Structure 1
Amino acid sequence: MEQYGYKPELRRTLSFGDLLIYGLIYMVVIAPFGIFGSVFQASAGMVVLAYAVGVVAMLVTASSYGVMVRAYPTAGSVYAYAGRAIAPWVGFLAGWTILLDYILVPGLLSLVAAASMTAVLPGVPVWAWIVIFVVVNAGLNLRGIKTTRRLNKAFLVGALAVLGLYLIAGLLALMSGAGRGFSWAPVFDSSQFQLGLIAAAVSVGMLSFLGFDALSTMAEDAKGGARQVSRAQIAALGVTGVLFMAQTFVAALLVEDPAKLIAEGDPAGTAFYDTARVAAGPWLATLTALATALAWGLANNMVAQVGTSRLLYAMARDGQLPAFLARVSPMRSVPTNGILLTAAVSLGLGLLMAAREDGISLMASLVNFGAILSFIVVHLSVLARNLRPQQRRVAGVFRSWVLPVIGIAILVVVIVNANILAQKLGFAWLCLGVVVLGLMVATGRRPRLAGMDDSQPGPVTDAVVAGHRG
């Protein structure tokens, strides 16, 4: 850390297993429970294909994250990578873009969980559940990374147990004649297939994969450093990809009226719970709804606050956000103010969007747009770093050149076919970032990253690093 001009303040307590669990919790191994109907409609029933394309795109992206986290093992994620590999001002805009994802995610998770809980306990209003989820998660994160680590394991075991029960019940139901029987239609349907259709479905289903990238913000919390973070990202994506395809395959075959779901969509968000009811009755439908609420509202929300607070911390210590966000609790070794701000924004956005009928879909579209755009920047950062001959090579030619180009191509197709409103609002947020950047430059606060040589337009060179060490 010293070679990049930073004083280590976060404790390295997370092992590979801890990081893997964080990734599985952040992506939520039962994530499709909550958005199955939307992905089914967008993919014209080929929901498994949509998730398969999504996991390929994310594995390619994870490779570039691995390259960059080894090159720059700091907590700033895409903000630090773009800032050091391309230029500090690009890093600021990249950080600004990913904030659209990170800041919105906790509020979105609270809103989805609250909606699920009203299906279980309709007497409690949505706003009350949002307050409960936000306050509880903030309290747990303020206790320190060890507390969240222990709770993550318990949440993961519970989610996997519910998923296993659903898969067993679903397969037994299919063998007994329920649903539409075994078919490869959820994987590929030649009568419905269109490239743009699948790309649009991937842009919706991408929400299920968001979270593997947040592991890069924990590079300063990991015992094994950057290499462990990279390994955990790949492993988490591989495990969740298989689980996502398995559960959506079974669920797609249990949909009683596929044509109606494709035509009318799933405005109530109950499509997956309906398949659970077909598989085993109301008790399984209630159990899967409750599991979704707890997984999104507590487990996923808790680690989402961890990632968001660390991004705020990384940008603030470089002077690109208010300094109070860079303060770390000496007792708990957590960015306290970042956690509190994340909680406050999550509460406000959750309550605001709860009043809109399209609140969940609007927030989800914006989160996905910000994430996809930032993933493209990560790939560009790898390519930019390779163009600087003074930089030490940290990966082979395939990972340094071929995979980033493939990743950019896939993600551009996805973002072009994304929700139009999300595109407009996402680019509006980016334009606002450009305005903020212009004001910073005009007031003499040009973006800079610690440890960088002002004479260099790009990242720290080995010569500069050696000079700092001397």
Structure 2
Amino acid sequence: MTTAHSKPAGPEPGKGGGSGEADGEEVLRSFGYAQELKRSLGLTDLAVYGLVMMLPIAPFTIFGAVFNESKGMVALTYLIGLVAMLFTALSYREMSRAFPVAGSVYSYAGRGINDKVGFLAGWAILLDYLLVPTLLYVMSAAALNSLMPSVPQWCWVVMFVLVNTTINLMGIDSTARLNRLFLLAELVVLALFVGFSLAAVAEGENGARFSFDPMLNPDLLTPGLIFGALSIAVLSFLGFDGISTLSEEVRDGDRRLVGRATLVALCVVAVLFVTQTWVAALLVPGRTGFAGDDATNSAFYDIAWIAGGGWLKQTTAVAAALATGVANSLVAQAATSRLLFSMARDRKLPAFLARVHPVRRTPERAILFVAAVSLALGLTFTGQISLLSQLVNFGALFSFLVLHVAVFVHFRLRHRSTRWHLHVLAPALGLAIIGTVLWNADADAKTGGLAWLAIGVLVLVFFRLTGRGANLTLED
């Protein structure tokens, strides 16, 4: 890789020297790119995007599985998940400030280490990003099919793909506005559940009483138990990294906003996760698991019935289905298209994916490509939620490992940073935690993930034989 080292040609973002957008364009040019995407997102837009991507009501769908793995200590599992993800979020923050370009971990590893490692990191997280919309469509179709069995699941998949693709093609402003509406709707449903559940606990429904057992039960706590549950619960936190794909659409080109939004979204969603799972677990006192797949999959909705009756059970089930099928899938498609755009711009993927609409300033061909892949995979893997979930986890976790290494290499080895807590300790702890979770991941997920990486290596060999490569410009 040929690497050019240069100082930014213009002033610091947002500190004079013209309009904020002009500053952002100048910073982007210092990395060798022209400003093509529309800069219109502020801190709130980015944080809301991250929250919708992580889905505040995500525990609705996997509560039973995490409950079984953690012997009822679901709230503790999510709290540990927050600690684990915080180190990764800090690494994202540091790299997003150093390299405010689209592409997420692909760009960070490519510039922090080298373009070959960057490609493999991007290739790994591409497994996550390409499969996340598919997973969400399949999950939503299964949930809605249980409510309306006469409608085939493939019909729901097709409908969700068409709706989300249309919205994303309209532009990032339309996506941002709808994100706020989606988030508000999810928070209303969540507030209803928590409110009725707390009232039910106060009245002693189902023998419930206020207790911290869902947070910590020393008699059952073991390291293996927590890491086993964490490997499932971590899926709920995946998505905060998607904020970094919007770096080139940040208003005023302020490179600090992506990192701030990442930490804000992660902490807020963790509070919501812990609160709802703690309250839900209180309504099934004395239990350490649910027997059978049906009872496990419907555990949260059955608890909602205990709290408020049939209407609350239906409300939470429909909210979860629509939130995953529309809200969450919408932002997942947006993030994936930005990753494809960034890799195609660097000639790491077919050039047609780098096409940007001249008016709406969206990567339209990348959006359509994601839609086509999601539709094909969604129709193929209908009902196979477990397999898709495991593969998504592998892609994200492997890329996180590379991200932590990139932070250490770029800041400590290359620039001799003395900020040990951010550039040595935090990435080391993040590496250890993510590595442990990945090591304990499902065997089929590791096999499938390694096969995907092997394909990536073959693509790299092809690039080398054909003389293709990207000149990634570094800014010191």
Range class of TM-score, shorter chain: over 0.9
Of the candidates 439, 459, 463, which is equivalent to residue 440 of structure 1? 463
What SS does structure 2 have at the residue aligned with 1:258?
coil
Quote how far apart the aligned CAs of 1:220 are: 0.4
Residues 407-460 of structure 1: CA distance to partner in whole angstroms, max 9, x if unpaired? 111111111111121111111111111122112212222x32443xxxxxxxx3
Q: Paired residue for 2:396?
A: 371
Aligned equivalent of 2:386, options 358, 361, 364 = 361
The reply on whether 1:135 has 2:162 as its aligned counterpart is: yes
1:197 equivalenced with 2:225 (yes/no): yes
Tell me the distance in 1 between the aligned counterparts of 2:439 and 2:55.
26
Q: Residue 448 of structure 2 aligns with which residue?
A: 425
Deviation at 1:267, TM superposition (A): 6.7
Provide Cα deviations, 1:372-427, integer angstroms capped at 9, x if missing partner: 111111111000102444x496x933111111111111111111111121111111
How does 1:265-414 map onto structure 2 within 5 Å?
A: 265-266=293-294, 269-354=297-382, 356=383, 359-389=384-414, 391=415, 396-414=419-437
**Residue of structure 1 in register with 2:193 after alignment:** 166
1:84/1:429 Cα in 2 relative to 1: closer, same or farther (>3 Å)?
Answer: same
Letter in 1 for 2:398: L
> Structure 1: how far apart are the matches of 2:224 and 2:470?
40
TM-fit CA distance, 1:255 = 3.0
Return closer, same or farther for 1:91/1:420 CA change in 2, 3 Å cut-off.
same
Name which of 123, 129, 147 aligns with 2:174: 147
- One-letter amino acid of the counterpart of residue 380, structure 1: V
Which deviations, in whole Å up to 9, do the C-alpha atoms of 1:49-92 show, x marking residues without a partner? 11011111111111000000111110011001111111100000
The 5 A counterparts of 1:65-214 are 65-179=92-206, 180-214=208-242
CA contact (8 A) 2:30 2:475 kept: no
Q: Which residue of 2 aligns with 1:232?
A: 261
Per-residue displacement from partner, 1:100-152 (whole Å, max 9, x unpaired)?
10000001111111112123322211111011111100010000011111111
Which of the residues 233, 237, 249 maps onto 2:278?
249
1:8 aligns with 2:30: no
In 2: Cα distance, 1:245 partner to 1:268 partner: 19
Equivalent pair of 1:276/1:285 in contact (CA under 8 Å) = yes
421-430 vs 68-77, greater mean Cα deviation: 421-430
TM-score when scaled to structure 1? 0.92
The separation in 2 between residues aligned to 1:423 and 1:198, in whole angstroms, is: 20
- How far residue 256 of structure 1 moved from its aligned partner, in angstroms, is 6.8
Q: What is the Cα deviation at residue 265 of structure 1?
A: 4.8
- Residues 64 and 296 of structure 2 are in contact (CA less than 8 Å); yes or no, is this contact kept in structure 1? no
Match of 2:47 in 1: 20
Structure 1 stretch displaced more, 414-423 or 329-338: 414-423
Task: State the shift of 1:226 in Å.
Answer: 2.0
Supply the distance in 2 between the matched residues of 1:302 and 1:26 (Cα, whole angstroms). Answer: 8
Cα distance in 2 for residues equivalent to 1:427 and 1:186:
36
Q: Do the aligned partners of residues 422 and 3 (structure 1) sit closer, same or farther apart at CA in structure 2, a change above 3 Å counting?
A: same
Whole-Å separation in 2 of the counterparts to 1:450 and 1:60: 26
Paired letter, 1:55: L
| Aligned-partner residue type, residue 192 of structure 1 | L
Which whole-Å CA distance do the structure 1 matches of 2:425 and 2:272 have between them?
28
Shift in Å at residue 258 of structure 1?
Answer: 2.7
Q: Deviations over 1:176-227 (max 9, x none)?
A: 1113422322112222222122112111111111111000000001115320
Deviations 1:340-389 (A, max 9, x none): 110111111111111x5xx1011111111111111111111000102444
- Alignment partners' CA distance in 1, 2:275 and 2:296: 23
Q: Distance between the aligned counterparts of 1:322 and 1:209, measured in 2?
A: 30
Equivalent AA in structure 1 for residue 87 of structure 2: V
What is the TM-score of this pair, normalised by structure 2? 0.91
Distance 2:288 2:83 in 1: 28
List gaps (5 residues or longer) in structure 1.
452-459, 463-470
What do you get for the CA RMSD once the two structures are aligned?
A: 1.6
Q: Distance in 2 between matches of 1:137 and 1:285?
A: 26
* C-alpha separation in 2, matches of 1:112 and 1:80: 30
Alpha-carbon distance, 1:8 to partner = 0.8
Distance in 1 of aligned mates of 2:93 and 2:475: 20
1:466 corresponding residue in structure 2: none
Runs in 1 of length 4+ with deviation above 6 angstroms? none
Secondary structure of 2:248's partner? coil
Q: Quick one: distance in 2 between partners of 1:268 and 1:56?
A: 26
Looking at structure 2, the residues matched to 370 and 267 of structure 1 have their Cα atoms a distance apart, in angstroms, of: 29
Structure 1 residue identity aligned to 2:247: A
- The answer to whether the 8 Å contact 2:67/2:289 transfers is no
Deviates more, 1:418-427 or 1:86-95: 418-427
Instruction: Count residues in correspondence.
Output: 447
Aligned to 2:249: 221
Q: Distance in 1 between matches of 2:69 and 2:448?
A: 21
**Identity score, percent:** 49
